[in-house]
Amino acid sequence: MTKVDLASLLAEQFGKTHTESMRILDLIFSSVAETIIKGERVYIKELGVFLAKDQKPRVGRNPRTGERIDIPAMRVVKFKPAKELKETTHTSSKETSPEERDLLIG
């Protein structure tokens, strides 16, 4: 699913224009990004938590040459899925019907 797909769904569900839906999504995504950049976590119920983590510097290897590479410390964005999403994902792999998935998702 892409941002355009989400905007189309939003427009259809709430009677908005595609342009309005894109502006809403832009606001949401930029707010999430700004919050993560500040070092705060973003919790979205039934989806999960987005947060920035600091990674320590480490040593890696070039897979082709085997040459040692020093990887500097960096900040990365992590996502931890919510329990509901994990359960739905695990159950979905066991061939559940769309109706069962709807019950699990809410």
Give me 81's structure tokens. Answer: 């899925």
String of b and e for 72-88 (b: at least 16 CB within 10 Å)?
eeeeeeeeeeeeebeeb
Model confidence at 1: pLDDT above 80: yes
Q: Is 77 helix (H, G, I), strand (E, B) or coil?
A: strand
pLDDT tens profile 21-48: 999 999 999 999 999 999 999 999 999 9
DSSP character string of 44-65: ETTTEEEEEEEEPPEEEE-TTT
- What is the structure's pLDDT at 89? 83
- What is the structure's pLDDT at 62? 93
Strand partners, 51: 78
- What is the structure's pLDDT at 90? 79
pLDDT tens profile 58-84: 999 999 999 999 999 999 999 999 998
Identify the CA nearest to 75 among candidates 55, 51, 95: 55
What are the domain boundaries of the chain? 1-38
